């Protein structure tokens, strides 16, 4: 199961705090850092075209629809990072190979964009590529109306993904618009920044897979940083720190790739949530009653997802949430998922594959106060 956290912490001092536009204004303060780090860590390679991985190359403009895989059940379009255009197909193949090992048999294609020049120029190019990808996908949909479309952007390819969603702007939807190790700004998904409505209206889900071990990413280094704002309901940060040890390890990490596949589900995307059930429980924790446990059994006909949200109005409470997916009683040392950040507002989200018995633990790390535990089950 995946471990996910929605964050609304204040932006770090090194992160931008002003609003973004969809086209993205380059921020000079980040260019020097990028020039001395990204270029040195993500070298370009010249790779031969890998069998079955089809390349959609936007470096010289919008390519014909026929360059993409035709008549497939679903396609994951992988967008590479900075200085990787020469090995775009090879990097997509790494993701596909790892996904194959996890049992995924869908089609993977490579989106190639112009990442030449200094980081600032490449970032501007990534933002310019997004609308071209959106136009191409619109034409691709017309030729392949039964194909499920999923986007996966790595590093600066995450900017391509975000700008693609912005250009789609609700005119159609893709099943997933995901990012791994994204170099997009950490406040990009936040309400009031410029991408919020497009994310909400243009994709079934946007999952941002981040690792605290990633020293190069922005959004991919710690998730969304929204201060007091919110992210769209269909956006979630997924912590893959335990599975990803550095910026270049996402595609080859079985744990990270399995988390991505968990959010694809079994239905081809977009239908999870057709049926929902919501349950809310109240409780109180203090020194004489430091934890509460409960169980929850799914009730929808075909459970496909779950969100457990813990909130407390107490200013002195620091409550943590632990979850199991086989009905056993969780502890701080024995759990499948957890959300244990500062404060008492915690969220765990996961994909489900049929009827599931959940074990729940609300534990007071310190402090006391009332709490609410809201469980939202999604079915197909």
131 and 52 in a common domain: yes
Residue 272 has what pLDDT?
59
Choose one of 232, 262, 292: the last residue of a domain: 262
Interatomic CA distance for residues 259 and 239, integer angstroms: 9
Instruction: Say if 220 falls within a structural domain.
Output: yes
Q: Examine the domain organization and report whether 51 and 122 are in the same domain.
A: yes
DSSP 92: H
Look over the chain and give the mean of its residue pLDDT values, rounded to a whole number. Answer: 84
Band the pLDDT of 347: cuts 50, 70, 90.
confident
Do residues 214 and 324 share a domain? no
Task: Examine residue 142 and state whether it is found in any structural domain, yes or no.
Answer: yes
Most confident listed range (122-126, 141-145, 168-172, 351-355): 122-126
**Number of domains into which the chain is organized:** 2
Residues 142, 257 within the same domain: yes
SS3 163: helix
Output the domain CATH number for residue 156.
3.40.50.1820
Q: Identify the pLDDT of residue 274.
A: 67
Question: Does residue 226 surpass a pLDDT of 70?
Answer: yes
Exposure on the CB side of residue 351, measured as CA atoms within 13 A: 21
Q: How far is CA 157 from CA 28, 83, 191, 225, 372, in A?
A: 20, 11, 22, 20, 39
- Is 11 within the bounds of a domain? no
What pLDDT does residue 9 have? Answer: 36
Residue 57 within any structural domain of the chain = yes
Does residue 237 share a domain with residue 371?
no
Structure tokens that stand for 237 in this block? 């940060």
Q: 177 is in which domain, residue-wise?
A: 33-262
> Whose CA is closest to 179, among 109, 259, 120?
259
The predicted-structure confidence for 111-125, as pLDDT tens digits, reads as follows 999 999 999 999 999
pLDDT value at residue 273: 63
Question: Of 154, 86, 160, 94, nearest to 122 (Cα)?
Answer: 160
Q: Which residue in this structure is represented by tokens 């979630």? A: 236
Within-domain flag for 19: no
Helices vs. strands in the chain: H and E counts, helices first: 6, 15
pTM: 0.63
More confident residue, 21 or 96: 96
User: Within a 10 A sphere around the Cβ of 334, how many other Cβ atoms?
Assistant: 12
Task: Answer with the one of 262, 289, 311 that is the final residue of a domain.
Answer: 262
**Taking Cα atoms as reference points, which of 100, 88, 5 lies closest to residue 50?**
88
């Amino acid at each position: 199961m995946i471990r996910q956290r929605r964050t609304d912490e204040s932006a770090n001092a090194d992160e931008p705090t002003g609003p973004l536009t969809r086209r993205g204004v380059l921020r000079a303060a980040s260019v020097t850092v990028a020039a001395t780090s990204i270029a040195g860590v993500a070298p370009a390679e010249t790779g031969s075209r890998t069998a079955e991985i089809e390349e959609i190359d936007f470096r010289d403009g919008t390519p014909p629809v026929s360059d993409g895989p035709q008549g497939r059940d679903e396609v994951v379009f992988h967008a590479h990072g900075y200085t990787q255009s020469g090995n775009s197909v090879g990097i997509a193949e790494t993701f596909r190979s790892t996904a194959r090992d996890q049992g995924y048999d869908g089609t993977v294609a490579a989106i190639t964009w112009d990442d030449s020049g200094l980081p600032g120029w490449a970032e501007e190019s990534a933002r310019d590529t997004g609308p071209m990808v959106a136009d191409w996908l619109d034409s691709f949909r017309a030729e392949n109306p039964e194909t499920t479309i999923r986007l996966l952007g790595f590093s600066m390819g995450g900017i391509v993904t975000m700008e693609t969603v912005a250009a789609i702007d609700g005119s159609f939807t893709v099943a997933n618009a995901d990012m791994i190790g994204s170099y997009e700004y950490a406040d990009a998904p936040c309400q009031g920044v410029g991408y919020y409505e497009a994310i909400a209206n243009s994709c079934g889900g946007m999952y941002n897979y981040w690792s605290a071990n990633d020293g190069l990413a922005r959004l991919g280094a710690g998730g969304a940083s929204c201060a007091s704002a919110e992210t769209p309901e269909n956006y979630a940060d997924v912590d893959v720190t335990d599975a990803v040890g550095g910026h270049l390890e996402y595609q080859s990490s079985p744990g990270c790739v399995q988390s991505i596949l968990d959010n694809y589900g079994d239905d081809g995307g977009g239908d999870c949530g057709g049926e929902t059930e919501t349950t809310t429980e109240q409780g109180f924790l203090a020194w004489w009653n430091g934890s509460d446990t409960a169980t929850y059994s799914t009730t929808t006909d075909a459970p496909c997802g779950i969100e457990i949200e813990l909130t407390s109005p107490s200013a002195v409470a620091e409550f943590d949430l632990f979850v199991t997916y086989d009905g056993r009683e969780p502890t701080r040392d024995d759990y499948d998922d957890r959300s244990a950040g500062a404060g008492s507002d915690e969220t765990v989200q996961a994909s489900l594959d049929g009827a599931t018995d959940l074990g729940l633990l609300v534990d007071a790390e310190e402090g006391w106060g009332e709490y609410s535990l809201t469980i939202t089950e999604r079915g197909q």
